[in-house]
Amino acid sequence: MKPSGPLSRFFGKLSPYVRVYRSPRVGAILFLGFSSGLPLALTAGTLQVWLASVGIDLHTIGAFSLIGVPYTLKFLWSPLMDRFVPPWMGRRRGWIIVLQGVLLVAIIALASCSPKQALMPVAALALFVAFTSASQDIVINAYQTDVLRQEERGAGNAVYVIGYRVGMLCSGALALILSDHIGWRSTYTVMAACMLIGMAATLLAPEPNVVALPPRTISEAVWGPLRDFLLRRYALLLLLAVVLYKLGDAYAGTLTSVFLIKIGFSRTEVGTINKGLGLVATLLGATVGGSLMVRLGLLRSLLAFGVLQFISNLSFMVLAWIGKSYGAMVFSVAFENLSAGMGTAAFVAFLMTLCNKRYTATQFALLSSLAVLGRVFITPTSGYIVESFGWARFFLFASLCALPGLALLYVLRGEISAMAQRNSS
């Protein structure tokens, strides 16, 4: 006899939203997200602290930031990962396990070097780690797109973000703490060993149900993804929607920390609330957004979460009017990051829906690079807007930047719904 009553009815309604996180496909993405996030700090913030601790000058440390360039250019070699299929574990998992193994060895090699005595080998190894890590990101994103069902994509994106952030914390905050106790070489060796978590996940991860044929030639791998996309109906409008959807949220975020300090909050308060609470709210938002997408579907999620992002930026405009207020600050930070996490879960699912599984690696890499194009060109104007019109009008302008993307999604609602339907069949 089944239990009845308000509590059982509540959990009965909740179960579809929770059940999606029990999928083995979603579970695999959690640990692959960790594998993606782990190498990042080892060639960025953590490496910079290592260099500073052994007396490397600031000009050299600043130049080391160029090591991150492969992450922005990864679309250039992504066609190779669509074209060539390793002889084991399939087109995606085969590449992932190879790159994880290379990362493990390369990070150990980096651990064995001394920046003080061999700076150029350290730089070369760090660049190689960044290149391999960016390559791993390409294939994990492609696997994520291929393996997740349409109704699982919101949840899959949520757990990927969680795993990625945990990996970054592991190689960032945890690595710095460890370095104080066991030294830098041992710390980097421990971080290399953490790659075994991702390798185990890759070995256990399921294969996609539908295996698409790879491109037959390098030429097809390079030009096929572009031709495939541009020949679709409303191709240019869909690309414009990719550029505009997160623009308002990104624009407001460029100066949020500066704004909070300017209206009287201390750096400790900004670090604790804006960064700490903001991280928790982002992860919660991604999780809640992934669950809600099971019921709402792709189009309604994009529109609903986009409206929330629009409103959340207005909360900072209200904070600018009020001035220093802890309650208003906590509400604004939590609301903005919660809605941003929800919007990200839906937006990445949108990018996945736009990909042809034959060219997933290249198309996802290109679309995700295109997604940051708008903010690269518009965010440098943020300081001028603040100086000319003040903080309140800046956040109003940032909110208004979200409207063109929402309007475009509404115009394209029929096409987006049709694509989502085709992906779910």
Share of the chain above pLDDT 70, in %: 94
pLDDT value at position 7? 47
pLDDT > 90? residue 268: no
CATH superfamily of 221-424: MFS general substrate transporter like domains (1.20.1250.20)
| Range among 47-51, 89-93, 304-308 with highest mean pLDDT value | 304-308
How would residue 95 be classed by pLDDT, with cut points 50, 70 and 90?
very high
Using CA atoms, how far apart are residues 258 and 8, in angstroms rounded to an integer? 47
**Above 70 in pLDDT, residue 2?**
no
Structure confidence by residue, pLDDT tens digits, 284-342: 888 888 888 888 888 899 999 999 988 988 888 898 898 888 888 889 888 888 998 89
**Are the CB atoms for 320 and 263 separated by under 8 Å?**
yes
The tokens describing 405, both together, are: 């993307």
Contacts of 275 (CB under 8 A, 6+ apart): 257
Average pLDDT over residues 214-242: 88
pLDDT of residue 6 exceeding 70, the answer is: no
The residue assigned the tokens 């939203």 is: 17
pLDDT band at 379 (very low <50, low <70, confident <90, very high): low
Is the pLDDT score of 3 beyond 60? no
Q: Token pair for residue 203?
A: 């070995």
Specify the pLDDT at position 5.
58
CA 102 vs CA 23, 96, 105, 107, 168: distances in Å: 29, 10, 5, 9, 19
Contacts 24+ apart (CB under 8 A), 205-210: 205/24, 205/25, 205/28, 205/32, 205/93, 205/143, 205/147, 206/24, 206/25, 206/28, 206/147, 207/90, 207/93, 207/147, 208/90, 208/92, 208/143, 208/146, 208/147, 208/357, 209/147, 210/146, 210/357
Closest CA to 367 of 8, 75, 71: 75
Q: Which of 167, 132, 130, 208 lies closest to 31, judged by CA?
A: 167
Residues 296 and 316: their CA atoms lie apart, in Å, by: 28
What is the number of other CB atoms lying within 10 angstroms of the CB of residue 196?
13
Give the pLDDT confidence of 404-415 residue by residue, as tens digits.
989 999 999 888
Mean pLDDT across the chain? 84
Q: Are 17-211 and 221-424 the same fold in CATH? A: yes
Lowest mean pLDDT among 76-85, 90-99, 114-123, 244-253: 244-253
Instruction: Look at residue 1 and tell me whether its pLDDT is greater than 50.
Output: no
pLDDT at 222 over 50: yes
Q: What is the rounded average pLDDT of the residues 237-250?
A: 86
Sequence spans of domains, the chain: 17-211, 221-424
**Of 58-62, 192-196, 221-225, the least confident:** 58-62
Q: Is the pLDDT of residue 383 over 90?
A: no
Among 149-158, 215-224, 391-400, the minimum mean pLDDT is found in 149-158
Instruction: Give the confidence band of 195 by pLDDT, cuts at 50, 70, 90.
Output: very high
Fold of 17-211: Growth Hormone; Chain: A; (1.20.1250)
pLDDT value at residue 424: 62
Q: Name, in order, each residue with C-beta under 8 angstroms of 105's C-beta and a sequence gap of 6 or more.
A: 192
